[in-house]
Amino acid sequence: MVKLYHNPISPHSRRVLVSLLEKKIECELVEVELNGVPNRPELLAINPLHHIPVLEDDGFKIVESLAILDYLEAKYPNPSLLPTDAKNLAKVRMVQLVTVNELLPAMMPFFPVMLDLPMDSQIVEPAMQKLSRILTFLEEFLGEQKYFTGSDFTLAEVTAGTVLTVLPLAGLSLDQYPKLQVLTEDLNQRPAWIHSLPTDSAMIAFKTDIKARFTGS
């Protein structure tokens, strides 16, 4: 049985859990605390890069969430979450890479809001402009389609969706992006998404811990 070291609070981690659940792959889950403490021996033992998610399959260890998604897709192709035709494969990869390389970093300045801390007023406007550019790109990319490649649910939704659905936690609304809003409402109703949500108590513990580190209190 595959084993996943994870924490659903992290979108990197949750995208793997969502994929396992969407594919109905039996899995042992090991929840790893995320508390901002560097160089924890127990996390270094799981991954020398000090990150989750990590997937283990019969002694084979994989780090990096996108590599894990590809492994699961190749090993458990049904249901398929990755198109094989050139255009749609490129679309999925574009959405995945825009999510990890553009969207997630653009959300980072809003992290204090998640912890109920004030944001530096000088960075709000440029940060919002950058985020708007990325959300507009995704809104237009989605267009009139149900999902990013058309009617099929793919790793594009798994990757972008696990970030878009948590924007409200950082005080960011999708009101100006009605197509992305409809998409997140659809995703939030899927059983795999409901079952991969972090518990309220895990969320509170995470916020308290990280806030203490941010503020030194």
Ligand X SMILES: N[C@@H](CCC(=O)N[C@@H](CS)C(=O)NCC(=O)O)C(=O)O
Question: Which residues make up the interface to ligand X (CB under 6 A)?
Answer: 10, 12, 34, 50-53, 64-65
Record the tokens describing residue 33, joined without a space: 């605390």
Cα separations (Å) of 209 from 83, 92, 169, 170? 40, 35, 16, 17
CB of 178 to ligand X, least distance (A): 28
Record the tokens describing residue 165, joined without a space: 């659905």
Q: Which is nearer to ligand X, 65 or 184 (CB)?
A: 65
CB of 19 to ligand X, least distance (A): 13
Q: Which is nearer to ligand X, 66 or 89 (CB)?
A: 66
Residue found under tokens 């550019």: 133
CB of 54 to ligand X, least distance (A): 8
Q: Which is nearer to ligand X, 64 or 102 (CB)?
A: 64
Q: Which is nearer to ligand X, 37 or 194 (CB)?
A: 37
CB of 105 to ligand X, least distance (A): 11
| Alpha helices by DSSP H, 85-199 | 86-98, 104-107, 111-114, 121-142, 155-164, 178-188, 191-195
- In one-letter notation, the amino acid at residue 72 is L
